[in-house]
Structure 1
Amino acid sequence: MSIVDELIAAGRALVDAGLSPGTSGNISARDDDRILVSGTGTSLGALRPEDFAILAADGTVHGGAKASKETPLHVGFYQRDPAHHAVVHVHSPQATAFSCTAPWSEVSAVPPLTPYFVMRVGRAPLLPYRMPGSPQLGTDVLEEPGTFRAALLANHGSVVAGASIAEAVERAVELEEACRIALLTAGTDRRELSAEQVAELAQRWNSPWSVATVH
């Protein structure tokens, strides 16, 4: 399956999972020295091969469709870590709702309520609100300290990266579920995973949590 075919299938999967209403959200993949990103105004559930913009590694558009205005987010993740080969940005209901609340901590906007969030996603910091399409979105990704592969965008939605398209989609789904559980348990006497439990999970699954190492 080609990179484009994988992106088309991933777009459908995100819509089927309820993570991308209407024409919201965008998806990309790095293919050697180029980046393919879904075009502006496209529905992730109905992507066609001609719906992708072709970018250089620095974000310069080389052809294809008109690039999504959220492209700086994608480029920021690729420039931050060469291990990132796919990025998913969605305005999914649970993550967007949770992005409108105060962050759990400076480490992660989302609390460690389940082992799967820690294992599959790791910490997800809250990045500041920016106008959609602002180049500052990419700068925020690059300047956020520590290691991370997912974040909430204040009053906006979520963005995740993965070593593959499938991994990025899986993390987007897991982050949405973590936000749903956090919303369901808000205001209750809930039980979070302890610092020791989180550290054990993060070490075993090579998942980022600490901000001790500044990028």
Structure 2
Amino acid sequence: MTELRKTLERVAHSIHRRGLTHGRTGNLAVREGDHILVTPTGVSLADVSAAELSVLDADGRHLDGPPPTKEAFLHVAVLQSRPTAQAIVHTHSVHAAALSCLADLDQAQPLPPLTAYYGMRVAPLEVLPYFAPGDKAATEAVQQAATRSHALLLRNHGPVIAGSDLESALDALEELEHTAQIFFLTQGMRTAPLTEHQLAALQPQTPQEPRP
């Protein structure tokens, strides 16, 4: 059994244990060479087993293991659009899901940058229109949005977050959930989101080219 499979099992159990998903909702995916490992359909993240994962090819065809989650196409679409991404975490975490249900959600900035870690790990957050769970008609919209951001919010559904590995994707998901919680706690109060200058200062600095 590979370490990648063990990591996926551990992260799945951690997500459920910390209440970032409920029931049998939520799913994960990770690249393994030319294949994609995905959590199976109908299985709670609390019960995900490293030995019982769905194996897909790069185009989403089921190759081995139990049937994949019906939302596997979301993971495939994001990974196809983001060649450097290695893992995807999708949950229905309460505050992020609540954010996705707001009628007057600002499409350009659905969450104000209230914390530095949101600015570093999440922003920008792309909002997608509503599609029924498992509706593959969402594929094109997901692919396009994923070229602009690793953090997506599905309307009336929940977040889909890509990362360089599962831990990074989970870190970003938790930061999104935490910031959404702060957003709701401060409704009706004046807040002081980070400025564009403050956000820019948080981004990794590109080394300067040496002068000739």
**TM-score, with length taken from structure 2:** 0.90
Deviates more, 1:194-203 or 1:163-172: 194-203
Deviates more, 1:109-118 or 1:179-188: 179-188
- 1:16-58 Cα offsets, whole Å, 9 max, x none, are 2210111100001001100010011111111113431110001
Aligned to 1:103: 105
Aligned to 2:210: none
- 1:75-124 Cα offsets, whole Å, 9 max, x none, are 11100111111000001101100111133341x32211111001112211
Identity %: 35
Q: Does 2:38 correspond to 1:29?
A: no
What is the CA-CA distance between 1:146 and the residue it aligns to? 5.5
Number of residue pairs the alignment of both structures matches: 204
In the aligned structure 2, how far is the partner of 1:179 from the partner of 1:8?
26
In the aligned structure 2, how far is the partner of 1:45 from the partner of 1:204?
39
Aligned to 2:144: 143
What is the CA-CA distance between 1:204 and the residue it aligns to? 4.3
In the aligned structure 2, how far is the partner of 1:76 from the partner of 1:166?
20
In the aligned structure 2, how far is the partner of 1:202 from the partner of 1:129?
31
Q: Which runs of 5+ in 2 are unaligned?
A: 207-212
Aligned to 1:176: 177
Residues 18 and 204 of structure 1: CA distance in aligned 2, closer, same or farther (over 3 Å): farther
In the aligned structure 2, how far is the partner of 1:119 from the partner of 1:4?
28
Structure 1 counterpart SS, 2:22: coil
Aligned to 1:210: none
Structure 1 counterpart SS, 2:203: helix
What is the CA-CA distance between 1:203 and the residue it aligns to? 4.7
What do you get for the CA RMSD once the two structures are aligned?
1.7
**TM-score, with length taken from structure 1:** 0.89
In the aligned structure 2, how far is the partner of 1:127 from the partner of 1:187?
26
What is the CA-CA distance between 1:145 and the residue it aligns to? 7.4
Is this contact kept in 2: 1:17–1:173, CA < 8 A?
A: no
In the aligned structure 2, how far is the partner of 1:184 from the partner of 1:148?
26
Aligned to 1:213: none
Is this contact kept in 2: 1:118–1:198, CA < 8 A?
A: yes
Structure 2 counterpart SS, 1:144: helix
Aligned to 1:81: 82
In the aligned structure 2, how far is the partner of 1:20 from the partner of 1:201?
29
In the aligned structure 1, how far is the partner of 2:4 from the partner of 2:147?
30
Structure 2 counterpart SS, 1:176: helix
Is this contact kept in 2: 1:103–1:109, CA < 8 A?
A: yes
